[in-house]
Amino acid sequence: MRWLLLYHALCFSLSKASAHIVELNDMFGQIQSPGYPDSYPSDSEVTWNITVPDGFRIKLYFMHFNLESSYLCEYDYVKVETEDQVLATFCGRETTDTEQTPGQEVVLSPGSFMSITFRSDFSNEERFTGFDAHYMAVDVDECKEREDEELSCDHYCHNYIGGYYCSCRFGYILHTDNRTCRVECSDNLFTQRTGVITSPDFPNPYPKSSECLYTIELEEGFMVNLQFEDIFDIEDHPEVPCPYDYIKIKVGPKVLGPFCGEKAPEPINTQSHSVLILFHSDNSGENRGWRLSYRAAGNECPELQPPVHGKIEPSQAKYSFKDQVLISCDTGYKVLKDNVEMDTFQIECLKDGTWSNKIPTCKKHEIDLESELKSEQVTE
């Protein structure tokens, strides 16, 4: 037994000594066992390392295969590998339960490198003619390969020989990572007293890697009230508050938030006429976003009482900043303000909660007969 172990060790040492490596960099080529089409020698080991450009794979197939049969390919074999993975091990003349021949099988590398090793042991009882194989570089369709990967294109993927590129739908901008589609949403200005603001594409998932700024800028004297709708879906984290996507509301030096998750914030009375809404999204996630409505409320002015023999339009229980009322008098009366008679008089609720003027009085209109007679004479 000791002599047998020494013999096998010596054979292994000799086979290692005779092993050599062939580097191949062409886009296609042929690989044959030593001596092909004659029988291959014993104690032989050859490795072919094939490298093609990035963006390509290596396709390997065999035209002829005839090696010594052995249990689990212990004796002679062809092994196909990458840097960290064995793709196939072939031996024998036909596929059995314990050995596999390539037959019509095509071996495809996952990347741009493939290593093929042929090894024969110390004895061949018959004449085995070895193998004849061919390889070629084939283009990788990155668009299909990356469909389920995090590095896939956000919107459109375009494959070309040796690579691919991403593009975005109308209204989007390709991020510097060359795959994410973001939006430019930093110049949204709202100056109306009421309005609706949503995340981009709401209720569809909002874009990634975007910084949105919405400014509500009203006349001083108004106060903005915010009301988020029930649909509120911003990427969250179970342990850390809003580390990915969030909304922040800035009112002067005060910052409310960040807000995220699935529960909408309670109504917010900002007590200000100027509000900034910041929305941030990172480079991942498929959340639907948010929608809010805002309404301006102004300081209220004191209740008005119409003058005697007069009326106020519109007549309502409360008046606030910018509301206007028109004072008029009953038939036979005129509005008297600063000793001047007029048909109507208008006042406005100011930003500090006061009226622009006092309520005038209604004075009975006295007809000047002498003036009317003169007017009739001129007409005649």
Q: Is residue 376 part of a domain?
A: no
Q: How confident is the prediction for the chain on average, in pLDDT?
A: 88
- Residue 72 in this model has a pLDDT that exceeds 60: yes
- Residue 4 in tokens: 């047998």
pLDDT, residue 298, reads 87
What beta strand segments (E) does 130-252 contain? 130-139, 156-160, 163-167, 173-174, 181-182, 185-190, 194-198, 211-217, 222-228, 246-251
pLDDT above 80 (res 336): yes
- 30-34, 205-209, 368-372: range with lowest mean pLDDT: 368-372
The model's confidence at residue 367, banded by pLDDT at 50, 70 and 90, is: low
pLDDT in tens, 246-287: 999 999 999 999 999 999 999 999 999 999 999 999 988 889
Residue 283 lies in a domain: yes
Residues 287 and 338 in one domain: no
Report pLDDT for 124. Answer: 75
Instruction: Indicate whether 332 and 263 sit together in one domain.
Output: no
At residue 366 the predicted structure's pLDDT band, cuts being 50, 70 and 90, is: confident
Q: Is the pTM of this model over 0.85?
A: no
Q: How confident is the model at residue 374 (pLDDT cuts 50, 70, 90)?
A: low
Domain that residue 353 falls in: 301-364
Would you say residue 139 has pLDDT above 90?
yes
Residues 170 and 248 in one domain: no
pLDDT over 70 at 371, yes or no: no
Q: What is the pLDDT of residue 248?
A: 97
Contacts of 95 (CB under 8 A, 6+ apart): 101, 103
Domain assignment of residue 219, yes or no: yes
| Average pLDDT of span 114-141 | 92
Determine how β-strand 340-342 pairs with β-strand 44-51: unpaired
Q: What's the CA gap between 278 and 268, in Å, rounded? A: 15
DSSP letter string, 42-70: SSEEEEEEEE--TTEEEEEEEEEEE----
Domain count within the chain: 4
Encoded tokens for 317:
């229980």
pLDDT score of 380: 52
Query: Average pLDDT of 127-154?
Result: 86
**Which CATH number characterizes residue 292's domain?**
2.60.120.290
**Mean predicted confidence (pLDDT) in 171-196:** 91
pLDDT for the residue numbered 3: 37
State residue 187's pLDDT score: 85
Please determine, for residue 152, whether its predicted confidence score (pLDDT) is greater than 50.
yes
Do 24 and 70 reside in the same domain of the chain?
yes
Mean per-residue pLDDT, 36-45: 93
Contact 263, 303 (CB under 8 A): no
Q: What is the mean pLDDT of residues 184-188?
A: 89
- The number of residues in the chain equals 380
Identify whether residues 356 and 256 lie together within a single domain: no
pLDDT > 70 in the chain, percent: 90
Residue 10 has pLDDT above 70, yes or no: no
pLDDT band at 126 (very low <50, low <70, confident <90, very high): confident
The answer to whether residues 247 and 234 touch, using CB atoms and an 8 Å cutoff, is yes
Mark whether 196 and 89 lie in a shared domain.
no
Lowest mean pLDDT among 8-12, 121-125, 338-342: 8-12
Please state the rounded mean pLDDT for residues 297-322: 91
**DSSP three-state, residue 23:** strand
Asked, for residue 372, whether it belongs to a domain, the answer is: no
Residue 14 reports pLDDT greater than 50: no
Q: Looking at residue 317, which CATH number applies to its domain?
A: 2.10.70.10
Q: Are residues 24 and 90 in the same domain?
A: yes
8 Å CB contact between 61 and 107 = yes
Q: Does residue 223 carry a pLDDT above 80?
A: yes
Rounded Cα gap, residues 336 and 360, in angstroms: 6
Q: Are residues 128 and 230 in the same domain?
A: no
- Measured CA to CA, the distance from residue 72 to residue 42 in angstroms comes to 19
Output the pLDDT for position 19. 72
- Tell me what the mean pLDDT of segment 305-313 comes to: 94
